[in-house]
Amino acid sequence: MTTRRTNRKDVKVTTSAPDTQAEQPGAAGPPPFSIIGVGASAGGLEAVSQLLEHLPCDGSLALVVVQHLAPAHESILAELLDHKSPLPVSEVTDGTPVEADHAYVIPPGFDMRLEGNLLRLTPRDQTQRPPMPIDGFFRSLAEVLGRRAIGVVLSGAASDGTLGLSAIKAEGGITFAQDPASAAYDGMPRAAIAANVVDYVLAPPAIAAELARIAHHPYVAPDGLALALPAKLGEASELYPVIFDLLRRAFGLDLTHYKFNTIGRRIARRMALRHIEALEEYVALLRDDPAELEALYQDVLIMVTEFFREPETFTTLREVVFPALTDGRSPGQELRLWVPGCASGEEAYSLAMALDDFLTAASLRPQVKVFATDVNQRAIDRARPGIYGESVASSVSSDYLVRYFAKVDGATRFPRQSASSASSPPMT
C-alpha cells in the first residue's frame, strides 16, 4: 500500500492485491448517506473522471466504481482518478467500510458486493464468460439499500450493468446511463437504455449534478418514504384515488386492489425524479403532463425478470409438473402453457427451453404451444423479437446457449431457426 499527499489530505491508494481472508469487523447497517454504484468499461477512465470532478463534497454521498479491469495486471485506476477528484479515491480491500465523501474502486480479478456498510470481495471465477461484475455489484446495492440504491452505467462495450440497473429500479432505486453521444464506447449505455431500465440519460457532468440533487431529496433518506407518503390509503385524502382514476382513464389499469405500499413507493420515486416533494404538486403534474402519467404507468408495471429466475421452480417443473402433463398424452395431442405477466419475455422463453429439453430427453414429441401475455404493450414489443444482450450468458447454460440461441448483429436471439419442439411463445 502506498500513501501520498494531495491538496486535501493524506489519501491511501491500495496497489497490492487485497487479502480476502483477513479478519474484518462485522457489517453495520446501511449508512445514512447515498451510495452510488458506477459501472464502466472501455472509455470509462474519462467518463468516471468527469463524473468525479463535478461531485459535491458535502457528506451526502459515496461513490463505488466497478470498472472492467484485466485480472492479471495491477491497476493504477484509483491513483489516476484521485488526481481529478474532490473526493479521496482508494482501491477496495475486503471489508472496506463505505464512508461519505469517499470514492472506491474495485481491484482487478475480483467481484464485489455491498454487505451493510462494507464492501466485500471474492476472487472472480475465471471460467465465467463474459464476466459481469457491474451487474453483481448493482444487485447487492439493490438488496441492501432498496429504494435508496442508485446506479450509473458509463462508457463501455457489451451490456454489463443492464440487469443490475433493472434490479435497482425494481426495488424503487434510481438509475442513470451516460448519453451515448458523449461516450467513447456506447454499447453499455445503449443496452441499458434499450432495456427501459434507465431514468436519466445524461453526460457525466450532468449526471453528477443530478446525483448531488437526489442525494438531498427526502426519498433517498433512511426515513424518506415515511416522510413522503401516508401510512395508509385512508390517510391519503382524495389524492391517491385521483391518481388511480387518471391511470384507469388513460390505460384501462385498475389499481384498486394493488398493495398500497407498492403503489406508494412508485409514486414517491416519480416525485423524486421530477424534483417534487408535495403530493398535491405531483397530482397537478399528472393532470397536465401525459408523458409523466405514462412514466408512472410504466413504473407501476416495472419488469422484473431474467432467464431461469428462481431455479428451484424450474427443478420442480422438470421433476414434477412436466411428467404429469405429458403422462399418457398422445403425440398429436396439443399441450398449451401460458405465462401471464411475461414482461420482456425471459420467463416464457425459459419455460419453452426447459420443456423442450425435457421432451427431448424423454423422446416425446407432442404438439406444444407456449403463450405469453402482458398488460404492458411496451413489454410485449420488447419480448416478441427475442433479442437480448450478452448478459444472457450469466443465467443460461452454455449448452442452452448453443441449442436455443443465435447471434444476430452482435445480439443474442431466441430461438435458433432449428429449435425447437416447444414453439416460440406467441406474444399478445
Residue 103 within any structural domain of the chain = yes
Q: According to the model, what pLDDT value does residue 31 have?
A: 86
Report which of 108, 169, 165 is spatially closest to residue 137, judged by C-alpha positions.
165
Query: Number of structural domains, the chain?
Result: 3
Query: Percent of the chain having pLDDT more than 90?
Result: 50
Residues 73 and 209 both lie in one domain: yes
Residues 182 and 152 both lie in one domain: yes
Confidence class of residue 8 from pLDDT cuts 50, 70 and 90?
A: very low
Q: According to the model, what pLDDT value does residue 410 have?
A: 66
Most confident of 88-92, 156-160, 275-279, 396-400: 88-92
What CATH number is given to the structural domain containing 392? 3.40.50.150
Cα 49 to its chain centre, rounded Å, is 23
Residue 394 within any structural domain of the chain = yes
Residues 211 and 226 both lie in one domain: no
Which residue in 82, 160, 186, 199 is the catalytic one? 160
Q: According to the model, what pLDDT value does residue 64 have?
A: 97
pLDDT in tens, 331-389: 778 899 999 988 889 999 999 999 999 999 988 888 889 999 988 888 888 888 888 87
Residues 87 and 203 both lie in one domain: yes
Rounded mean pLDDT, 155-181:
93
Residue 357 within any structural domain of the chain = yes
Q: According to the model, what pLDDT value does residue 54 have?
A: 93
What CATH number is given to the structural domain containing 121? 3.40.50.180
Residues 200 and 80 both lie in one domain: yes
Rounded mean pLDDT, 65-82:
88
Residues 206 and 248 both lie in one domain: no
Residues 394 and 270 both lie in one domain: no
Active site residue 41: yes
Residue 305 within any structural domain of the chain = no
Rounded mean pLDDT, 1-25:
40
How far apart, in Å, are the Cα atoms of 343 and each of 132, 233, 389?
22, 28, 16
Q: According to the model, what pLDDT value does residue 18 have?
A: 42
Residues 285 and 356 both lie in one domain: no
Q: According to the model, what pLDDT value does residue 225 have?
A: 55
Which residue in 34, 60, 68, 155 is the catalytic one? 68
Residue 260 within any structural domain of the chain = yes
Rounded mean pLDDT, 256-265:
78
Residues 46 and 188 both lie in one domain: yes
Residues 170 and 189 both lie in one domain: yes
Range of the domain at 353: 311-413
pLDDT in tens, 28-56: 778 889 999 999 999 999 999 999 999 98
| Separation of alpha carbons 390 and 374, rounded Å | 24
Active site residue 160: yes
Which of 238, 267, 300 is a domain's end point?
300
Residues 210 and 358 both lie in one domain: no
Active site residue 420: no
Residue 22 within any structural domain of the chain = no
How far apart, in Å, are the Cα atoms of 280 and each of 228, 236, 268, 274, 343?
11, 10, 12, 13, 31
| Separation of alpha carbons 192 and 201, rounded Å | 10
Give the burial class of 233: count Cβ atoms within 10 A of its Cβ; 0-12 exposed, 13-18 middle, 19 or more buried. middle
Which neighbouring-strand residues pair with 412?
388, 407
Which of 300, 332, 351 is a domain's end point?
300
Residue 423 within any structural domain of the chain = no
Residue 401 within any structural domain of the chain = yes
Which residue in 41, 85, 159, 182 is the catalytic one? 41
pLDDT in tens, 277-300: 888 899 999 999 999 999 999 888
Residues 167 and 91 both lie in one domain: yes
Which of 196, 216, 236 is a domain's end point?
216
Rounded mean pLDDT, 68-92:
89
